[in-house]
């Protein structure tokens, strides 16, 4: 049940004589989802993170990795253990916003840095922001805001909205409605981890909607897409990249072809860092990277860039180095806003088939230099 | 139209619960055994189906494999573990079969990994059909309803019309007397247990095909299967069928109708929240109601 990987001991780093400022070893605790319906996301974040460490030859970064099983109570136990007995300097890895809300406030209150490779609940971007909390992925609302903007431009004006009932699900529908100007044909919150969507599909069929916006990451998305395709309801789908990531597409197949979705990243984004990342990821793991993998990779590179400039024991210097975000992101331009959340472009992608592989290709920009809606509520 | 579709969804859900509950109620009624590991047999059937269907490309072979694997696991478990528990009290049975859940879950994780498996529907059963009245409904879900009905008829014939059925009913009524009359009661128990296991495996394979196949998929269904057999009356196949359909329909229609009902006098998002919460409580309210009215269950023999 425990997946614990120790890359290289801090002892080894000491033996190599790391003494210069900024060259001290760092111990990272990664709490992520490696089993169950959400495993695809955690595995990709972990693999992207470890790939970046390997490519940088960062032998003095030790990663302790544990599976949270997508359960908040387990995540809290692991965090306590990592902080108290493993004595990690930095925590990262959490996929699900309900787990992040359970772990992050306590971790940063104990003086640890937290770099989020995925979850970006609105509470942590606004009034609950913290000087030691950085989100390297996005604020939860962002991709859904872009989906709303896209729905307008596609001429949809009666959307049925579907999301799981947890912080990221409410952020999703809030984000979508922030930009989408049409009417709501229905708004349904499902259980997190639900696998049967027959009742929701019946409601969609009866709603008279002209489009279905859905946010269902991981196994939930696979189950919904397969059942939706079987149901014969032909209403067009829109959604964030989470509902159409690399793992979901392989399981869903033809049913997703041609669907537009929004993402801050895609494998064909034209920049040198991304090209190197996509090639190395395929060579290392023999599969295409997902956006989650790119987020894990960027998180590790942000950490490495800060480590090169400052010692993690000097918290103020290390924090300033993180804020500078001086690393080559797979997204091209990358910078943090004042609440430590990214300001970045969000793109529209389309699901295509390349040979036997289902994947996404870029078709345009939905939002440029998008920050988030909660930045003014953040007082650090 | 929404109501008709939800009623079909409820029927399909009910049939799936019936496949689970039939085995559970047989084992509980005939052998007096509380088998918490029934959900693991459901999971095992789903994994066997997914693995064989992926290896051979044939969904029919996958279904056959789910029956065979779950029945074989049932026989193994009965001979190795359960047989020692008949004379013990229910608490020890619960403890031992709970241990079996852990063994099966970790074993499956060890063999298949933590990542869920997804089955592809056979072309003949995929897509939606248009029913009389113009309602479109997925063919595979209709097929589940059909399989459930066929199993119900088959079980009724087996119990009411065959020699084996007479022995099962006799074993339920008085096991010492049956043994004294020369029936090999140990073999009969193994057979009943394997039959129940095979039905659970079939349910797992069918549900796994439309949802996903993963470790731990059996436990939520197991709880509902217990609700079903308590409502239906322990040991009664007929009770299990009626109660399963009742639970399935209550759940599906409740989740569909309650939010709409609450939306008449409150804000939509609040109505959604309250409706959904109450919808998922409905089956337990139903169970409590039935138990107040008939403590032995709808068709329970024991008072």
Q: Which residues of A touch B214 (CB under 8 A)?
A: 36-37, 219
pLDDT at position A2: 43
Provide CB contacts within 8 A for B2, sequence distance 6+.
Answer: A202, A203, A205, A206, B256
B167 CA: distance to closest CA in chain A (Å): 39
Q: Do A196 and B140 touch (CB under 8 A)?
A: no
Residue B14 belongs to a domain: yes
Q: Do A39 and B114 touch (CB under 8 A)?
A: yes
pLDDT at position A17: 38
Q: Which residues of A touch B118 (CB under 8 A)?
A: 222, 226, 251
Question: To which residue do tokens 């006799």 refer?
Answer: B170
Q: CB distance from A163 to chain B under 8 Å?
A: no
Percent of chain A with pLDDT over 90: 80
Interface of A with B in 252-311 (CB under 8 A): 253
pLDDT at position B44: 96
Per-residue pLDDT tens digits for B136-181: 899 999 999 999 999 999 999 998 899 999 988 888 888 888 888 8
CA-derived radius of gyration, chain B? 20
Residue A321 has pLDDT above 70, yes or no: yes
Q: Do B9 and A222 touch (CB under 8 A)?
A: no
pLDDT at position A24: 64
Residue of A nearest to B268 (CA): A187
> Domain holding B226: CATH number?
1.10.3470
Q: Which residues of A touch B128 (CB under 8 A)?
A: 230-232
Residue A142: pLDDT band by 50, 70, 90 thresholds? very high
Distance of CA A373 to the CA centre of its chain: 18
Q: CB distance from A37 to chain B under 8 Å?
A: yes
User: For residues B33 and A150, which has the higher predicted lDDT (pLDDT)?
Assistant: A150
Residue of B nearest to A224 (CA): B211
Question: From the CB of residue A85, how many other CB atoms can be counted at a distance below 10 Å?
Answer: 8
Kindly state the average pLDDT of the residues A333-354.
Answer: 94
Residue of B nearest to A198 (CA): B9
Residue A18 has pLDDT above 80, yes or no: no
- How confident is the prediction for chain A on average, in pLDDT? 90
Identify the weakest region by mean pLDDT among A218-222, A279-283, B267-271, B279-283: B267-271
How many CA atoms, within 13 angstroms, populate the side-chain half-sphere of residue B262?
18
Identify the weakest region by mean pLDDT among A329-333, B85-89, B283-287: B85-89
Residue B150 belongs to a domain: yes
A367 CA: distance to closest CA in chain B (Å): 28
Give CA separation, A256 vs A185, B21, B140, B177, in Å. Answer: 22, 36, 20, 62
- Per the CB < 8 A criterion, the answer to whether A188 and A200 are in contact is yes
> If you write DSSP's letter for every residue of A216-265 in order, what string do you get?
--THHHHHHHHHHHHHT--PPEEEEGGGG-HHHHHHHGGGGTT-EEEES-
Residue B128 belongs to a domain: no
Residue B68 has pLDDT above 60, yes or no: yes
Q: Do A205 and B269 touch (CB under 8 A)?
A: no
User: For residues B264 and A329, which has the higher predicted lDDT (pLDDT)?
Assistant: A329
Q: CB distance from A43 to chain B under 8 Å?
A: yes
Write the ipTM.
0.85
Q: Which residues of A touch B255 (CB under 8 A)?
A: 199
Per-residue pLDDT tens digits for A197-218: 998 999 899 899 999 999 999 8
Q: Do B211 and A39 touch (CB under 8 A)?
A: no
Kindly state the average pLDDT of the residues A144-168.
Answer: 94
Q: Which residues of A touch B9 (CB under 8 A)?
A: 198-199, 202
**What pairing do the DSSP bridges indicate for beta strands A342-354 and A357-370?**
antiparallel
B273 CA: distance to closest CA in chain A (Å): 8
A227 CA: distance to closest CA in chain B (Å): 7
pLDDT at position A10: 37
Residue B302: pLDDT band by 50, 70, 90 thresholds? low
Residue B118 belongs to a domain: no
User: For residues A39 and B280, which has the higher predicted lDDT (pLDDT)?
Assistant: A39
Per-residue pLDDT tens digits for B203-260: 999 999 888 888 888 888 999 999 999 999 988 889 999 999 999 999 988 887 887 7
The gap between the terminal CA atoms of chain A, to the nearest Å, is 38
A331 CA: distance to closest CA in chain B (Å): 28
pLDDT at position B291: 93
Residue of A nearest to B1 (CA): A206
Residue B22 belongs to a domain: yes
Nearest CA to A167 among A201, A231, A228, A122?
A122
Q: Do A230 and B121 touch (CB under 8 A)?
A: yes
Q: Do A199 and B6 touch (CB under 8 A)?
A: yes
Residue B123 belongs to a domain: no
User: For residues A253 and A214, which has the higher predicted lDDT (pLDDT)?
Assistant: A214
B202 CA: distance to closest CA in chain A (Å): 18
- Per the CB < 8 A criterion, the answer to whether A154 and A173 are in contact is no
pLDDT at position A5: 41
Provide the domain limits for residue B164: 2-113+139-293
B128 CA: distance to closest CA in chain A (Å): 5
Torsion sign (Cα): B200, B201, B203, B208: positive
Q: CB distance from A202 to chain B under 8 Å?
A: yes
Residue B266 belongs to a domain: yes
The total of structural domains in chain B comes to 1
Per-residue pLDDT tens digits for A20-63: 444 468 999 999 999 888 889 999 999 999 999 999 999 899 99
Buried b (16+ CB within 10 A) or exposed e, A262-286: bbbbbbebeeebbeebbebbeeebe
Residue B266 has pLDDT above 90, yes or no: no
Q: Which of A164, A202, A247, A249 to mutate to test the interface with B (most CBs of B within 10 A)?
A: A202
Domain architecture of chain A: domains with CATH: 10-138+268-340 (3.40.50.2300), 141-263+346-377 (3.40.50.2300)
Q: Which residues of A touch B137 (CB under 8 A)?
A: 231-232
Smallest Cβ distance to A198: which of B121, B141, B273? B141
Smallest Cβ distance to B2: which of A35, A191, A203? A203
Q: Do B9 and A202 touch (CB under 8 A)?
A: yes
Per-residue pLDDT tens digits for A49-58: 999 999 999 9
Residue A1 has pLDDT above 50, yes or no: no
Q: Which residues of A touch B106 (CB under 8 A)?
A: 1
Smallest Cβ distance to A230: which of B138, B214, B272? B138
Q: Which of A33, A187, A226 to mutate to test the interface with B (most CBs of B within 10 A)?
A: A226
Kindly state the average pLDDT of the residues B291-298.
Answer: 91
Q: CB distance from A232 to chain B under 8 Å?
A: yes
Identify the weakest region by mean pLDDT among B15-19, B212-216, B270-274: B270-274
Residue B163 belongs to a domain: yes
């Amino acid at each position: 049940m425990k997946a614990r990987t120790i890359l290289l001991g801090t002892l080894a780093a000491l033996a190599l004589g790391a003494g210069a400022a900024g060259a001290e070893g760092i111990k990272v605790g990664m709490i992520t989802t490696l089993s169950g319906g959400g495993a695809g996301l955690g595995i990709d974040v972990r693999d992207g993170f470890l790939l970046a460490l390997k490519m940088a030859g960062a032998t003095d970064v030790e990663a302790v990795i544990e599976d949270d099983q997508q359960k908040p109570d387990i995540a809290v136990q692991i965090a306590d253990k990592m902080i108290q007995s493993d004595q990690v300097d930095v925590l990262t890895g959490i996929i699900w916003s309900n787990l992040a809300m359970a772990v992050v406030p306590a971790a940063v209150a104990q003086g640890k840095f937290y770099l989020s490779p995925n979850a970006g609940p609105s509470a942590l971007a606004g009034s609950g922001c913290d000087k030691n909390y950085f989100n390297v992925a996005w604020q939860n609302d962002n991709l859904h805001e872009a989906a709303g903007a896209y729905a307008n431009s596609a001429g949809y004006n009666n959307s049925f909205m579907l999301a799981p009932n947890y912080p990221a699900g409410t952020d999703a529908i809030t984000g979508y409605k922030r930009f989408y100007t049409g009417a709501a044909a229905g708004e349904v919150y499902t259980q997190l981890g639900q696998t049967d969507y027959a009742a929701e599909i019946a409601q969609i069929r009866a709603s008279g909607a002209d489009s279905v916006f859905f946010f269902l990451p991981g196994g939930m998305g696979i189950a919904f897409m397969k059942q939706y395709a079987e149901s014969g309801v032909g209403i067009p789908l829109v959604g964030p990249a989470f509902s159409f990531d690399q793992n979901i597409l392989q399981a869903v197949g033809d049913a997703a072809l041609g669907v537009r979705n929004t993402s801050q990243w895609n494998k064909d984004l034209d920049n040198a860092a991304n090209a190197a990342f996509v090639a190395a990821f395929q060579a290392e793991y023999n599969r295409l990277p997902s956006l989650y993998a790119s987020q894990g990779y960027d998180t590790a590179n942000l950490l490495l860039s800060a480590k090169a400039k400052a010692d993690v024991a000097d918290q103020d210097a290390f924090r300033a180095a993180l804020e500078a975000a001086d690393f080559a992101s797979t997204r091209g331009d990358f910078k943090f806003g004042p609440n430590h959340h990214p300001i970045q472009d969000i793109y529209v992608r389309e699901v295509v088939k390349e040979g036997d592989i289902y994947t996404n290709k870029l078709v345009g920009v939905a939002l440029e230099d998008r920050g988030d809606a909660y930045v003014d509520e953040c007082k650090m | 139209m929404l109501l008709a579709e939800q009623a079909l969804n409820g029927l399909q859900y009910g049939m799936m619960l019936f496949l689970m509950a039939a085995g559970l109620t047989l084992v509980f009624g005939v052998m007096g055994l509380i088998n918490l590991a029934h959900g693991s047999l459901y999971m095992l059937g789903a994994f066997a189906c997914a693995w064989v269907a992926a290896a051979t490309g044939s969904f029919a072979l996958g279904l056959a494999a789910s029956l065979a694997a779950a029945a074989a696991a049932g026989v193994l478990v009965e001979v190795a573990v359960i047989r020692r528990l008949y004379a013990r009290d229910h608490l020890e049975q619960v403890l031992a079969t709970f241990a079996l859940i852990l063994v099966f879950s970790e074993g499956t994780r060890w063999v298949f990994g933590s990542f869920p498996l997804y089955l592809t529907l056979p072309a003949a059963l995929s897509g939606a059909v248009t029913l009389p009245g113009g309602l479109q409904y997925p063919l595979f879900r209709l097929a589940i309803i059909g399989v459930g009905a066929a199993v119900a008829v088959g079980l009724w014939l087996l119990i009411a019309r065959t020699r084996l059925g007479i022995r099962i009913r006799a074993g339920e009524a008085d096991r010492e007397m049956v043994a004294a009359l020369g029936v090999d009661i140990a073999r009969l128990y193994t057979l009943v247990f394997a039959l129940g296991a095979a039905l659970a495996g079939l349910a797992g394979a069918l549900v796994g095909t439309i949802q996903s196949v993963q470790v731990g998929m059996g436990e939520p269904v197991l709880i509902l299967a217990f609700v079903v057999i308590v409502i239906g009356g322990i040991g009664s196949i007929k009770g299990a069928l009626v109660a399963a359909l009742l639970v399935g329909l209550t759940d599906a229609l409740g989740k569909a109708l309650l939010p709409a009902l609450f939306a008449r006098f409150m804000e939509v998002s609040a109505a959604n929240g309250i409706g959904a919460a109450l919808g998922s409580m409905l089956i337990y309210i139903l169970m409590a109601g039935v138990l107040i009215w008939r403590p032995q269950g709808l068709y329970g023999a024991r008072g």
